[in-house]
Structure 1
Amino acid sequence: MMTTRPLADRLASPNMSPLRRAFTLIELLVVIAIIAVLIGLLLPAVQKVRAAAARTRCTSHLKQIALAAHNYHDVNERFPPGAQTGLRPSSLFVELLPYIEQTPLYQQWDFAAPANNYSGTAPRAGTVIAIYVCPAQTLTHGGSSFAVTTYGGNGGTVAFPPARATVDGMFHTTGALSEPRANQTGVRMLDVSDGTSNTLFFGERVIGDPALDSYLNAPAGVITPAPGPDIQPSASYAMWGALPGPNAAGGLLSAEVVIGYRHGTVWTPPPPPLPGFPPEPPPPVDGVALKALWWRRLGAYGSFHTGGVMTARADGSVSFLRDSTTSQVLIGLSTRNGNEVIPSE
């Protein structure tokens, strides 16, 4: 007599595939939503960690640069020039090379024929130097064919062009062709009567300004001629191996504008004419006013850190200077012998 196995036994038989239950659409959407929330929670944390790491490395870079300037002073009894003029043209960050473990590059630097430093397939001025670049700025060349630095020396109240410099900071032009006076020399420690802890030494800058550079696209004749050095792409002033000439001091920072200053207007050509009408001429640009804006922008402190910039003081310490720092305080910190009273931050 044949017996019939219960249904439960047959379903549990090893010869039969077990039933599998798939995710429903709602369950899948819930899982996706949970993953999205977790990613949303993790991203800010990752960004904060990266920002903190960038500030730490930037602090280290500024400490090394400040120490290099002090070691230069120990050897030469003066701090390096902001830009050296005359028969041996040089610049601040070139002079610091032997003191940041870049002696071979410094020994190869051609002071007699400076053009050789910018020529060839691997120009000396194209060497990217890690401690000259803040890790918060991924830019290494800034649109220029040569390597740049995101740091600048304190040029005082006004730094550029040299003819209008106040020469009250830590760096300025020196040598036979220096401005505003010939034969200026570098700053000595004894010259810092305001106190080294109350005087800026180095700071950060943001390379490039698209709004300002847009004026380079204006046709010839639109910008009226103005005295002073010719304007160039803003990133070209940030080369650590600055080209000899008046623009070599473009790497110095100043207190002319507030921290984080950017140019506010953009040059745009006139709209295309309607059919049958002649094209409208571009409106003229006041070259004097444009150059004044250009020069102030070049000296602006700025960074990609949230809320301010990293700065080194003349005593070698590194501190964070907030965007909210007033112009009065910035001027006081930028002068070495102005006798200003700096309020506590």
Structure 2
Amino acid sequence: MNQQPVTTPRKPTTRKPTTSGFTLVELLVVIAIIGVLVGLLLPAVQAAREAARRMSCSNNFKQIGLGMHNYHSAYNQLPINMTGTDAAATGNGADQNNMVLSWLVGLTPFVEQQALWEQISNGVDSEGDQYQPMGPSPWFAGFSPWASDIPSFRCPSDPGVGLPALGRTNYAACLGDNPRMSHDGGKNRSGFYDWSGTAAWPGWNAENDAWARTTSDLSQVPAWVRGSNRGMFWNRHSTKFRDTLDGLSNTIAAGEIATSLGQKELIADMANSVHYSSLFTPSKCTDLADPTRPQYFPASQSVLNGSSRERGYRWADGRHPFASVHTVLPPNGASCITSGGDGGQGISTIGSRHQGGAHVLMGDGAVKFITDSIEAGNQDADPVQNGEMSPYGLWGALGSRASREVISEEF
């Protein structure tokens, strides 16, 4: 009889419970990898965001161009830059607007700002305050339309916000390639032709040289005044598409500007109280930059500032610092103005917060991005005024409306 072997039951073994997770070393490795990836991807994300902002900026400009064409269809002329009501009556900026209203004011009903236009045209703001029709001078912060930031007039790439600015703008009318007499188009703020050194001018009076010339007859304007204002816009004058003999697709109607951040930046501030000769030798304006920091003016250089007088700080003001530009110095170059301050003569240069260039609006409504390296001719040359070819190369040619310059290259 076979006996089965006796087996002793095994004592059950107890296992220690296991826990899942990362060790400290593994966690540090993962964090390091994430940091590297973020470092690699962040520039790409920022570039994508700037590309989107740049596209939005271009779209805003296209809407302004469409509004400009609709305005021309309605009134058979372009909106006038620096227009408005007569300053000679009272001298009080609350009762009139010094004939300095910008081209953007007339465009408001054509860029879906009808409600704002009604406040301006009636002289009654959103708080019910009563002013004269077309409002007070554009530096009156109490008139709410002047203090309004209009999205269509702002480039998303420009970070400038808040006081002391009123409503900012990044889009400015192009006055051409000659800064001489372009600040008022030859007309004083009462609408009459007025300048120094013309004793034979009709109405001239030695005792009151500044205000006695009372003619408003354009046919009597000296040729150099007419010839100096070569852009698609001529301050205090009406211009039409038919005046653009060089072709709408070859002529810049408006350009982008960067608003001031109060940092004396070359692209966003305007050198103040410069010598008058700087207007006739553009390189002298460029020479004002700090040689050690060429993107800034030096600390010793006065720039236009105080209250709302800085670059782009008043969308409703058509003067050089605020809403008009020249094609003299290439994009993102310096801007400078004479001792007349925001009412003086100067070179107002196109610029932006985009990398490497700025947008321009062509007369046909197209928006193009112009690089800083565009061919800009001889920057030591005086501007021309009698129909000659622009001394500022392709850039100057794009700014003149009727010099019959052939543009054969892509820009």
Q: Which TM bucket (shorter chain)?
A: 0.7 to 0.9
- 1:162 is matched with 184
The CA deviation at 1:102 is 1.0
C-alpha distance in 2 between matches for 1:258 and 1:315: 22
C-alpha distance in 1 between matches for 2:270 and 2:234: 29
- 1:306 is matched with 355
The 3 A distance-change label for structure 1 pair 70 and 140 is farther
C-alpha distance in 2 between matches for 1:232 and 1:163: 24
- State the Cα deviation string for residues 275-319 of structure 1 (Å, max 9, x = none): xxxxxxxxxxxx76999x9932xx111112222112211001111
- 1:201 is matched with 253
- 1:108 is matched with 119
Report % sequence identity.
28
- 1:340 is matched with 405
Is 1:235 paired with 2:257? no
The CA deviation at 1:137 is 1.0
C-alpha distance in 1 between matches for 2:55 and 2:339: 41
Conserved? CA contact 1:118–1:124, under 8 Å: no
TM-score, L = length of structure 2:
0.62
Matches within 5 A, 1:206-221: 206-208=258-260, 210-211=263-264
C-alpha distance in 1 between matches for 2:275 and 2:58: 42
Corresponding residue pairs, total: 293
- 1:326 is matched with 375
C-alpha distance in 2 between matches for 1:314 and 1:294: 25
- State the Cα deviation string for residues 252-272 of structure 1 (Å, max 9, x = none): 1101212111479xxxxxxxx
Conserved? CA contact 2:315–2:322, under 8 Å: no
The CA deviation at 1:104 is 1.6
> What are structure 2's unaligned runs of at least 5 residues?
1-6, 87-96, 124-131, 187-224, 280-302, 377-392
Matches within 5 A, 1:1-345: 5=11, 7=13, 10-11=14-15, 18-20=17-19, 23-87=22-86, 89=99, 90-109=101-120, 110=123, 112=133, 114-115=135-136, 119=140, 123-141=144-162, 143-159=163-179, 160-162=182-184, 166-174=228-236, 185-208=237-260, 210-211=263-264, 231-233=304-306, 235=310, 237-242=312-317, 247=319, 250-262=322-334, 295-296=346-347, 299-327=348-376, 328-342=393-407, 343-345=409-411
- Aligned-partner residue type, residue 331 of structure 1: G
TM-score, L = length of structure 1:
0.73
C-alpha distance in 1 between matches for 2:68 and 2:396: 22
Conserved? CA contact 1:80–1:96, under 8 Å: yes
C-alpha distance in 1 between matches for 2:11 and 2:256: 84
Conserved? CA contact 2:53–2:157, under 8 Å: yes
The CA deviation at 1:163 is 5.9
- Larger mean CA deviation between 34-43 and 202-211 belongs to 202-211
Conserved? CA contact 1:261–1:300, under 8 Å: yes
SS in 2 for 1:107: helix
> What are structure 1's unaligned runs of at least 5 residues?
12-16, 175-184, 217-222, 265-286
